[in-house]
Structure 1
Amino acid sequence: MTAVLSLEGVSRVHGEGATRVHALRGVGFTASAGELVAVMGPSGSGKSTLLTLAGGLDAPTSGTVRVEGVDLAALGPSERARLRRTSVGYVFQDFNLIPALTAAENVALPRELDGVRGSAARRQALTALEEVGIAELADRFPDEMSGGQQQRVAIARAIVGERRLILSDEPTGALDTDTGEEILRLLRARCDAGAAGVLVTHEARHAAWADRVVFLRDGVVVDETGADPVDSLLGEGSAR
Protein backbone atom coordinates (compact mmCIF):
# COMPACT_ATOMS: atom_id res chain seq x y z
CA MET A 1 0.00 0.00 0.00
CA THR A 2 1.09 3.57 -0.72
CA ALA A 3 1.65 5.71 2.37
CA VAL A 4 -0.39 8.89 2.07
CA LEU A 5 0.72 10.09 5.52
CA SER A 6 4.10 9.34 7.08
CA LEU A 7 5.58 10.59 10.36
CA GLU A 8 9.22 9.66 10.96
CA GLY A 9 10.85 10.22 14.35
CA VAL A 10 8.43 13.06 15.11
CA SER A 11 8.65 14.94 18.40
CA ARG A 12 6.77 18.04 19.49
CA VAL A 13 7.79 20.07 22.53
CA HIS A 14 5.70 22.93 23.90
CA GLY A 15 7.09 25.58 26.22
CA GLU A 16 10.48 25.92 27.86
CA GLY A 17 12.11 25.27 31.21
CA ALA A 18 9.68 24.28 33.95
CA THR A 19 6.71 24.52 31.56
CA ARG A 20 8.32 22.29 28.92
CA VAL A 21 5.93 19.55 27.75
CA HIS A 22 6.77 16.68 25.37
CA ALA A 23 3.53 16.23 23.45
CA LEU A 24 5.08 13.63 21.12
CA ARG A 25 8.37 11.74 21.47
CA GLY A 26 9.97 10.17 18.39
CA VAL A 27 6.72 8.94 16.89
CA GLY A 28 6.66 6.86 13.72
CA PHE A 29 3.24 6.61 12.08
CA THR A 30 1.80 5.85 8.64
CA ALA A 31 -1.62 5.79 7.02
CA SER A 32 -1.91 4.26 3.56
CA ALA A 33 -4.38 4.63 0.72
CA GLY A 34 -7.51 2.62 1.47
CA GLU A 35 -6.70 2.37 5.18
CA LEU A 36 -8.46 3.77 8.24
CA VAL A 37 -6.16 4.02 11.27
CA ALA A 38 -7.62 4.64 14.73
CA VAL A 39 -5.52 6.47 17.32
CA MET A 40 -6.37 5.80 20.96
CA GLY A 41 -4.89 6.84 24.28
CA PRO A 42 -5.68 8.68 27.51
CA SER A 43 -6.20 12.43 27.67
CA GLY A 44 -2.92 14.24 27.09
CA SER A 45 -1.31 11.31 25.28
CA GLY A 46 -0.65 13.33 22.11
CA LYS A 47 -3.55 12.23 19.90
CA SER A 48 -4.69 15.69 18.84
CA THR A 49 -1.09 16.87 18.46
CA LEU A 50 -0.51 14.04 16.01
CA LEU A 51 -3.48 15.24 13.92
CA THR A 52 -2.38 18.88 13.87
CA LEU A 53 1.10 17.84 12.72
CA ALA A 54 -0.32 15.43 10.14
CA GLY A 55 -2.40 18.20 8.62
CA GLY A 56 0.35 20.82 8.62
CA LEU A 57 -1.44 23.02 11.17
CA ASP A 58 1.66 22.82 13.38
CA ALA A 59 5.29 21.87 12.81
CA PRO A 60 7.26 19.20 14.67
CA THR A 61 10.16 20.15 16.93
CA SER A 62 12.09 17.34 15.22
CA GLY A 63 11.40 14.60 12.71
CA THR A 64 9.63 14.57 9.34
CA VAL A 65 5.98 14.72 8.33
CA ARG A 66 5.14 13.78 4.74
CA VAL A 67 1.78 13.93 2.97
CA GLU A 68 1.71 12.11 -0.37
CA GLY A 69 5.50 12.05 -0.25
CA VAL A 70 5.88 15.80 0.29
CA ASP A 71 7.91 16.94 3.30
CA LEU A 72 5.73 19.60 4.91
CA ALA A 73 8.80 21.35 6.35
CA ALA A 74 10.01 22.02 2.80
CA LEU A 75 6.89 24.05 2.01
CA GLY A 76 6.28 27.72 2.66
CA PRO A 77 3.12 28.87 4.48
CA SER A 78 1.12 29.42 1.28
CA GLU A 79 2.20 26.06 -0.16
CA ARG A 80 1.20 24.27 3.05
CA ALA A 81 -2.17 26.01 3.00
CA ARG A 82 -2.71 24.90 -0.59
CA LEU A 83 -1.78 21.31 0.26
CA ARG A 84 -4.29 21.34 3.13
CA ARG A 85 -7.04 22.61 0.84
CA THR A 86 -6.36 20.09 -1.91
CA SER A 87 -5.11 16.94 -0.14
CA VAL A 88 -6.22 17.04 3.51
CA GLY A 89 -9.74 17.04 4.97
CA TYR A 90 -10.62 17.60 8.64
CA VAL A 91 -13.64 16.36 10.56
CA PHE A 92 -13.98 17.74 14.08
CA GLN A 93 -16.31 16.97 16.97
CA ASP A 94 -17.84 20.46 16.94
CA PHE A 95 -18.42 20.53 13.13
CA ASN A 96 -16.80 24.01 12.60
CA LEU A 97 -19.35 25.06 10.01
CA ILE A 98 -19.81 28.74 9.16
CA PRO A 99 -23.33 29.69 10.36
CA ALA A 100 -23.93 32.33 7.67
CA LEU A 101 -23.25 29.88 4.82
CA THR A 102 -25.54 27.17 3.50
CA ALA A 103 -24.45 23.53 3.47
CA ALA A 104 -23.37 23.79 -0.18
CA GLU A 105 -21.52 27.05 0.47
CA ASN A 106 -19.69 25.56 3.46
CA VAL A 107 -18.59 22.59 1.37
CA ALA A 108 -17.67 24.68 -1.67
CA LEU A 109 -15.60 27.20 0.30
CA PRO A 110 -12.28 25.25 0.30
CA ARG A 111 -12.53 24.79 -3.46
CA GLU A 112 -13.26 28.47 -4.03
CA LEU A 113 -10.30 29.40 -1.83
CA ASP A 114 -8.19 27.21 -4.09
CA GLY A 115 -9.28 29.19 -7.14
CA VAL A 116 -12.09 26.97 -8.45
CA ARG A 117 -14.85 29.09 -10.04
CA GLY A 118 -18.07 29.41 -8.08
CA SER A 119 -20.27 27.30 -10.36
CA ALA A 120 -17.71 24.48 -10.54
CA ALA A 121 -17.13 24.61 -6.79
CA ARG A 122 -20.88 24.31 -6.19
CA ARG A 123 -21.12 21.30 -8.51
CA GLN A 124 -18.30 19.61 -6.59
CA ALA A 125 -20.00 20.51 -3.30
CA LEU A 126 -23.30 19.00 -4.44
CA THR A 127 -21.49 15.81 -5.48
CA ALA A 128 -19.90 15.57 -2.03
CA LEU A 129 -23.22 16.22 -0.29
CA GLU A 130 -24.83 13.51 -2.41
CA GLU A 131 -22.04 11.11 -1.41
CA VAL A 132 -22.86 11.62 2.28
CA GLY A 133 -26.59 11.33 1.64
CA ILE A 134 -27.87 14.88 2.19
CA ALA A 135 -27.97 16.50 -1.24
CA GLU A 136 -31.50 17.74 -0.45
CA LEU A 137 -30.09 19.93 2.36
CA ALA A 138 -27.73 21.86 0.10
CA ASP A 139 -29.46 25.22 0.63
CA ARG A 140 -30.12 24.92 4.35
CA PHE A 141 -28.11 26.76 6.97
CA PRO A 142 -26.40 24.90 9.85
CA ASP A 143 -28.98 26.00 12.43
CA GLU A 144 -31.69 24.42 10.26
CA MET A 145 -30.06 20.97 10.51
CA SER A 146 -29.66 18.31 13.19
CA GLY A 147 -26.27 17.52 14.70
CA GLY A 148 -25.93 14.43 12.54
CA GLN A 149 -26.77 16.40 9.40
CA GLN A 150 -24.24 19.09 10.30
CA GLN A 151 -21.57 16.44 10.78
CA ARG A 152 -22.39 15.01 7.34
CA VAL A 153 -21.85 18.50 5.91
CA ALA A 154 -18.51 18.62 7.71
CA ILE A 155 -17.55 15.27 6.18
CA ALA A 156 -18.62 16.47 2.72
CA ARG A 157 -16.38 19.52 3.20
CA ALA A 158 -13.53 17.20 4.21
CA ILE A 159 -13.81 15.03 1.10
CA VAL A 160 -14.73 17.60 -1.57
CA GLY A 161 -12.18 17.64 -4.34
CA GLU A 162 -11.25 14.00 -3.72
CA ARG A 163 -8.84 14.68 -0.88
CA ARG A 164 -6.55 11.79 -0.16
CA LEU A 165 -6.12 12.22 3.62
CA ILE A 166 -9.06 12.51 6.03
CA LEU A 167 -8.27 13.47 9.64
CA SER A 168 -11.05 13.02 12.20
CA ASP A 169 -10.80 14.18 15.82
CA GLU A 170 -13.55 12.51 17.92
CA PRO A 171 -16.08 13.15 15.12
CA THR A 172 -18.94 11.32 16.88
CA GLY A 173 -18.52 12.77 20.37
CA ALA A 174 -21.46 15.17 20.09
CA LEU A 175 -23.79 12.68 18.41
CA ASP A 176 -26.14 9.93 19.57
CA THR A 177 -25.05 6.32 19.11
CA ASP A 178 -26.95 5.57 15.90
CA THR A 179 -25.92 8.80 14.20
CA GLY A 180 -22.33 8.31 15.32
CA GLU A 181 -22.25 4.84 13.77
CA GLU A 182 -23.52 6.26 10.48
CA ILE A 183 -20.76 8.90 10.51
CA LEU A 184 -18.17 6.16 11.01
CA ARG A 185 -19.71 4.21 8.16
CA LEU A 186 -19.24 7.22 5.89
CA LEU A 187 -15.60 7.60 6.91
CA ARG A 188 -15.04 3.89 6.37
CA ALA A 189 -16.59 4.07 2.91
CA ARG A 190 -14.36 6.98 1.93
CA CYS A 191 -11.27 5.00 2.94
CA ASP A 192 -12.54 1.94 1.08
CA ALA A 193 -12.77 4.21 -1.98
CA GLY A 194 -9.04 4.97 -1.73
CA ALA A 195 -8.45 7.73 0.82
CA ALA A 196 -6.27 7.34 3.91
CA GLY A 197 -8.04 8.09 7.18
CA VAL A 198 -6.89 8.82 10.72
CA LEU A 199 -9.55 8.62 13.43
CA VAL A 200 -8.84 9.84 16.95
CA THR A 201 -11.23 8.15 19.36
CA HIS A 202 -11.44 7.01 22.99
CA GLU A 203 -14.05 4.31 22.31
CA ALA A 204 -13.06 0.76 21.34
CA ARG A 205 -16.33 0.21 19.46
CA HIS A 206 -15.41 3.09 17.16
CA ALA A 207 -11.85 1.87 16.74
CA ALA A 208 -13.30 -1.46 15.57
CA TRP A 209 -14.11 0.24 12.25
CA ALA A 210 -10.39 0.72 11.61
CA ASP A 211 -7.84 -1.49 9.86
CA ARG A 212 -5.23 -0.72 12.51
CA VAL A 213 -5.27 0.76 15.99
CA VAL A 214 -2.32 2.79 17.30
CA PHE A 215 -2.11 3.40 21.05
CA LEU A 216 -0.40 6.51 22.42
CA ARG A 217 0.67 7.19 25.98
CA ASP A 218 2.72 10.19 27.14
CA GLY A 219 3.52 11.07 23.53
CA VAL A 220 4.87 7.62 22.65
CA VAL A 221 3.41 4.83 20.50
CA VAL A 222 3.12 1.99 23.02
CA ASP A 223 1.24 -0.54 20.89
CA GLU A 224 -0.12 -1.08 17.41
CA THR A 225 -2.54 -3.77 16.35
CA GLY A 226 -5.23 -4.71 13.89
CA ALA A 227 -8.89 -4.10 14.65
CA ASP A 228 -9.68 -7.77 15.42
CA PRO A 229 -8.19 -7.68 18.95
CA VAL A 230 -10.36 -4.63 19.65
CA ASP A 231 -13.40 -6.56 18.47
CA SER A 232 -12.52 -9.45 20.77
CA LEU A 233 -12.31 -7.08 23.72
CA LEU A 234 -15.89 -6.08 22.95
CA GLY A 235 -16.95 -9.70 22.62
CA GLU A 236 -18.43 -9.14 19.18
CA GLY A 237 -17.58 -9.29 15.49
CA SER A 238 -16.36 -6.47 13.32
CA ALA A 239 -18.53 -3.35 13.20
CA ARG A 240 -18.18 -3.23 9.45
Structure 2
Amino acid sequence: MSRPAVLIAVATVALVLVAGLLLSGIERDRVPGPAAEVPPAAAIPSPRETRQVAGSTGIPRRALAAYVGAAQTIERENATCRIAWNTLAGIGASESSHGAFGGAALDDQGVARPLIIGVPLDGSGGNRAIRDTDGGRLDGDPRWDRAVGPMQFIPTTWDVWGADGDGDGRSDPHDLDDAALAAARYLCRAGTDLGGSEGWSRAVLTYNNSGEYARKVARTATAYARALDDV
Protein backbone atom coordinates (compact mmCIF):
# COMPACT_ATOMS: atom_id res chain seq x y z
CA MET A 1 0.00 0.00 0.00
CA SER A 2 1.32 3.43 -0.88
CA ARG A 3 2.05 5.99 1.81
CA PRO A 4 -0.94 8.23 0.83
CA ALA A 5 -3.25 5.20 0.90
CA VAL A 6 -1.92 4.16 4.30
CA LEU A 7 -2.41 7.68 5.67
CA ILE A 8 -5.98 7.74 4.40
CA ALA A 9 -6.64 4.34 5.96
CA VAL A 10 -5.22 5.45 9.30
CA ALA A 11 -7.32 8.60 9.28
CA THR A 12 -10.43 6.63 8.35
CA VAL A 13 -9.87 4.27 11.28
CA ALA A 14 -9.72 7.19 13.68
CA LEU A 15 -12.78 8.81 12.10
CA VAL A 16 -14.88 5.93 13.39
CA LEU A 17 -14.01 7.00 16.93
CA VAL A 18 -15.70 10.36 16.66
CA ALA A 19 -18.55 9.12 14.46
CA GLY A 20 -19.40 6.27 16.80
CA LEU A 21 -19.13 8.26 20.01
CA LEU A 22 -20.12 11.84 19.36
CA LEU A 23 -22.68 11.45 16.59
CA SER A 24 -24.69 8.36 17.46
CA GLY A 25 -23.35 7.30 20.83
CA ILE A 26 -22.09 3.86 21.78
CA GLU A 27 -24.75 1.34 20.84
CA ARG A 28 -24.71 -1.31 23.53
CA ASP A 29 -27.43 -3.50 22.00
CA ARG A 30 -25.77 -3.94 18.62
CA VAL A 31 -22.53 -5.56 17.55
CA PRO A 32 -21.67 -3.45 14.47
CA GLY A 33 -20.46 -6.14 12.12
CA PRO A 34 -19.36 -9.79 12.33
CA ALA A 35 -18.01 -10.82 15.71
CA ALA A 36 -14.38 -11.82 16.11
CA GLU A 37 -13.24 -14.57 18.42
CA VAL A 38 -11.93 -12.97 21.59
CA PRO A 39 -8.16 -13.40 21.95
CA PRO A 40 -6.82 -14.91 25.17
CA ALA A 41 -6.06 -12.36 27.86
CA ALA A 42 -2.31 -12.23 28.34
CA ALA A 43 -0.98 -12.00 31.89
CA ILE A 44 1.08 -9.04 33.03
CA PRO A 45 4.67 -9.88 32.07
CA SER A 46 7.53 -9.65 34.52
CA PRO A 47 10.52 -7.44 33.63
CA ARG A 48 12.36 -10.48 32.28
CA GLU A 49 9.33 -11.57 30.28
CA THR A 50 8.86 -8.04 28.98
CA ARG A 51 12.33 -8.10 27.43
CA GLN A 52 11.71 -11.48 25.84
CA VAL A 53 8.21 -10.70 24.57
CA ALA A 54 9.43 -7.43 23.09
CA GLY A 55 12.24 -9.26 21.36
CA SER A 56 10.06 -12.03 19.94
CA THR A 57 7.13 -9.85 18.84
CA GLY A 58 8.85 -6.67 17.74
CA ILE A 59 6.79 -4.55 20.13
CA PRO A 60 9.12 -1.80 21.40
CA ARG A 61 9.65 -2.19 25.13
CA ARG A 62 8.48 1.39 25.65
CA ALA A 63 5.22 0.61 23.85
CA LEU A 64 4.75 -2.64 25.75
CA ALA A 65 5.14 -0.74 29.02
CA ALA A 66 2.40 1.68 27.92
CA TYR A 67 -0.05 -1.10 27.08
CA VAL A 68 0.68 -2.98 30.30
CA GLY A 69 0.38 0.20 32.36
CA ALA A 70 -3.00 1.03 30.81
CA ALA A 71 -4.32 -2.48 31.47
CA GLN A 72 -3.16 -2.31 35.08
CA THR A 73 -4.87 1.05 35.57
CA ILE A 74 -8.14 -0.33 34.20
CA GLU A 75 -7.85 -3.34 36.50
CA ARG A 76 -7.80 -0.94 39.43
CA GLU A 77 -10.51 1.35 38.06
CA ASN A 78 -12.90 -1.11 36.48
CA ALA A 79 -12.01 -4.76 37.04
CA THR A 80 -15.21 -5.95 35.35
CA CYS A 81 -13.96 -4.62 31.99
CA ARG A 82 -11.26 -7.32 31.73
CA ILE A 83 -9.29 -5.58 29.02
CA ALA A 84 -5.85 -7.12 28.53
CA TRP A 85 -2.67 -5.43 27.39
CA ASN A 86 -2.43 -7.63 24.31
CA THR A 87 -5.73 -6.27 23.00
CA LEU A 88 -4.39 -2.73 23.34
CA ALA A 89 -1.19 -3.89 21.65
CA GLY A 90 -3.20 -5.40 18.81
CA ILE A 91 -4.90 -2.06 18.24
CA GLY A 92 -1.62 -0.17 18.57
CA ALA A 93 -0.07 -2.44 15.96
CA SER A 94 -2.93 -1.79 13.54
CA GLU A 95 -3.09 1.95 14.10
CA SER A 96 0.58 2.93 13.98
CA SER A 97 2.88 -0.10 14.30
CA HIS A 98 3.31 0.85 17.97
CA GLY A 99 4.27 4.42 17.21
CA ALA A 100 6.61 3.51 14.37
CA PHE A 101 4.44 4.60 11.44
CA GLY A 102 6.20 6.68 8.80
CA GLY A 103 9.61 6.21 10.38
CA ALA A 104 8.58 7.50 13.82
CA ALA A 105 9.86 6.01 17.07
CA LEU A 106 8.86 6.35 20.70
CA ASP A 107 11.18 8.43 22.84
CA ASP A 108 11.88 7.71 26.50
CA GLN A 109 8.67 9.52 27.49
CA GLY A 110 6.57 7.39 25.13
CA VAL A 111 6.00 10.16 22.57
CA ALA A 112 6.16 9.16 18.91
CA ARG A 113 8.65 11.37 17.07
CA PRO A 114 8.25 12.69 14.53
CA LEU A 115 4.62 13.16 15.52
CA ILE A 116 2.20 10.83 13.75
CA ILE A 117 -0.46 12.95 12.06
CA GLY A 118 -2.95 11.69 9.50
CA VAL A 119 -4.27 13.29 6.36
CA PRO A 120 -6.64 16.27 6.58
CA LEU A 121 -10.23 15.11 7.00
CA ASP A 122 -11.43 17.38 4.24
CA GLY A 123 -13.95 15.08 2.59
CA SER A 124 -11.53 13.71 0.00
CA GLY A 125 -10.49 10.09 -0.43
CA GLY A 126 -13.74 8.78 1.04
CA ASN A 127 -13.21 10.58 4.35
CA ARG A 128 -15.93 12.57 6.07
CA ALA A 129 -15.10 16.27 6.24
CA ILE A 130 -14.38 17.47 9.77
CA ARG A 131 -13.45 21.12 10.03
CA ASP A 132 -10.89 22.16 12.61
CA THR A 133 -12.04 21.85 16.22
CA ASP A 134 -8.84 22.49 18.16
CA GLY A 135 -7.25 25.47 16.40
CA GLY A 136 -4.54 23.10 15.19
CA ARG A 137 -3.33 22.55 18.76
CA LEU A 138 -3.03 18.76 18.43
CA ASP A 139 -2.75 18.19 14.71
CA GLY A 140 -1.09 21.40 13.50
CA ASP A 141 -3.92 22.06 11.05
CA PRO A 142 -6.10 25.14 11.69
CA ARG A 143 -8.46 24.27 8.84
CA TRP A 144 -9.26 20.54 9.09
CA ASP A 145 -9.04 17.96 11.84
CA ARG A 146 -6.59 15.10 11.51
CA ALA A 147 -6.10 11.85 13.40
CA VAL A 148 -3.12 12.07 15.72
CA GLY A 149 -0.78 9.92 17.76
CA PRO A 150 0.00 6.22 18.08
CA MET A 151 -3.65 5.29 18.73
CA GLN A 152 -4.97 7.74 16.08
CA PHE A 153 -7.42 9.94 17.97
CA ILE A 154 -9.33 12.78 16.34
CA PRO A 155 -9.13 16.00 18.42
CA THR A 156 -12.85 15.99 19.32
CA THR A 157 -12.63 12.41 20.55
CA TRP A 158 -9.49 13.19 22.51
CA ASP A 159 -11.32 16.11 24.10
CA VAL A 160 -13.77 13.57 25.60
CA TRP A 161 -11.45 10.64 26.34
CA GLY A 162 -8.03 12.23 26.82
CA ALA A 163 -6.12 10.66 29.71
CA ASP A 164 -2.93 11.14 31.71
CA GLY A 165 -1.50 7.65 31.68
CA ASP A 166 1.95 8.48 33.01
CA GLY A 167 0.97 10.93 35.76
CA ASP A 168 2.90 13.87 34.37
CA GLY A 169 -0.07 16.21 34.69
CA ARG A 170 -0.74 16.37 30.95
CA SER A 171 -2.97 14.45 28.53
CA ASP A 172 -1.25 14.14 25.17
CA PRO A 173 -2.53 11.91 22.31
CA HIS A 174 1.03 11.75 20.95
CA ASP A 175 2.16 10.11 24.22
CA LEU A 176 1.42 6.39 24.08
CA ASP A 177 1.03 6.15 27.86
CA ASP A 178 -1.83 8.63 27.65
CA ALA A 179 -3.27 7.34 24.38
CA ALA A 180 -3.29 3.69 25.50
CA LEU A 181 -5.19 4.54 28.68
CA ALA A 182 -7.67 6.70 26.76
CA ALA A 183 -8.21 3.88 24.27
CA ALA A 184 -8.67 1.37 27.09
CA ARG A 185 -11.32 3.50 28.76
CA TYR A 186 -13.07 4.03 25.44
CA LEU A 187 -13.07 0.30 24.73
CA CYS A 188 -14.38 -0.52 28.20
CA ARG A 189 -17.22 1.95 27.75
CA ALA A 190 -18.06 0.45 24.37
CA GLY A 191 -17.82 -3.23 25.28
CA THR A 192 -18.48 -3.25 29.05
CA ASP A 193 -16.78 -6.65 29.51
CA LEU A 194 -14.02 -7.52 27.07
CA GLY A 195 -13.52 -10.95 28.59
CA GLY A 196 -16.17 -12.41 26.29
CA SER A 197 -16.48 -12.49 22.52
CA GLU A 198 -19.56 -10.25 22.31
CA GLY A 199 -18.17 -7.47 24.50
CA TRP A 200 -14.72 -7.67 22.94
CA SER A 201 -16.12 -7.52 19.41
CA ARG A 202 -18.46 -4.66 20.25
CA ALA A 203 -15.58 -2.66 21.71
CA VAL A 204 -13.15 -3.19 18.85
CA LEU A 205 -15.81 -2.70 16.19
CA THR A 206 -16.80 0.57 17.84
CA TYR A 207 -13.18 1.65 17.55
CA ASN A 208 -13.28 0.72 13.85
CA ASN A 209 -16.48 -0.71 12.34
CA SER A 210 -14.77 -3.28 10.16
CA GLY A 211 -14.98 -7.01 10.63
CA GLU A 212 -11.59 -7.48 8.97
CA TYR A 213 -10.08 -4.91 11.35
CA ALA A 214 -11.48 -6.75 14.37
CA ARG A 215 -10.23 -10.10 13.11
CA LYS A 216 -6.78 -8.62 12.44
CA VAL A 217 -6.61 -7.18 15.96
CA ALA A 218 -7.75 -10.55 17.36
CA ARG A 219 -5.06 -12.43 15.43
CA THR A 220 -2.37 -9.99 16.49
CA ALA A 221 -3.45 -9.99 20.14
CA THR A 222 -3.54 -13.79 20.13
CA ALA A 223 -0.01 -13.93 18.75
CA TYR A 224 1.17 -11.60 21.51
CA ALA A 225 -0.45 -13.76 24.18
CA ARG A 226 1.20 -16.88 22.75
CA ALA A 227 4.56 -15.13 22.69
CA LEU A 228 4.24 -14.62 26.45
CA ASP A 229 3.22 -18.26 26.93
CA ASP A 230 6.38 -19.32 25.11
CA VAL A 231 8.70 -17.34 27.41
TM-score range with shorter-chain normalisation? under 0.3
Q: Hey, which of these two has a bigger chunk of strand by percent?
A: 1
Higher relative contact order (CA 8 A, sep 6+): 2
Structure (1 or 2) with the larger CA radius of gyration: 1
TM-score (normalised: structure 1)? 0.26
TM-score (normalised: structure 2)? 0.26
